[in-house]
């Protein structure tokens, strides 16, 4: 089933069922070990990525943490 979700502010059409892990792969997330993920404003624990199923209308944000400073 094709459904619309929002990823980092952009609408995407995805084929459901779809786990969060699969969505991360589809979006070519570089270094997923360095990314935090929010689904509908809730942070998702890394050990839940395989089990969390994306649903129609979900809002997903990949948050990249950058190092640096002086």
For the ranges 32-36, 54-58, 64-68, the maximum mean pLDDT occurs at: 54-58
Identify the burial level of 24 via C-beta atoms within 10 angstroms of its C-beta, where 0-12 means exposed, 13-18 middle and 19 or more buried. Answer: middle
Mean pLDDT of the chain: 94
Supply the pLDDT for residue 69.
Answer: 63
Best CA proximity match to 28, nearest among 9, 7, 6: 7
Instruction: Output the pTM of the full model.
Output: 0.90
Instruction: Name the pairing type of β-strands 35-39 and 10-15.
Output: unpaired
**pLDDT of residue 11 exceeding 90:** yes
């Amino acid at each position: 089933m094709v459904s619309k979700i929002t990823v980092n502010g952009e609408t995407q059409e995805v084929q459901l069922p779809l786990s969060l892990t699969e969505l991360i792969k589809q979006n070519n997330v570089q270094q997923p070990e360095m990314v935090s993920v929010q689904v509908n404003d809730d942070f998702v624990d890394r050990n839940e990525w395989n089990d969390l199923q994306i649903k129609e209308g979900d809002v997903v944000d990949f948050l990249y943490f950058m190092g640096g400073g002086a």
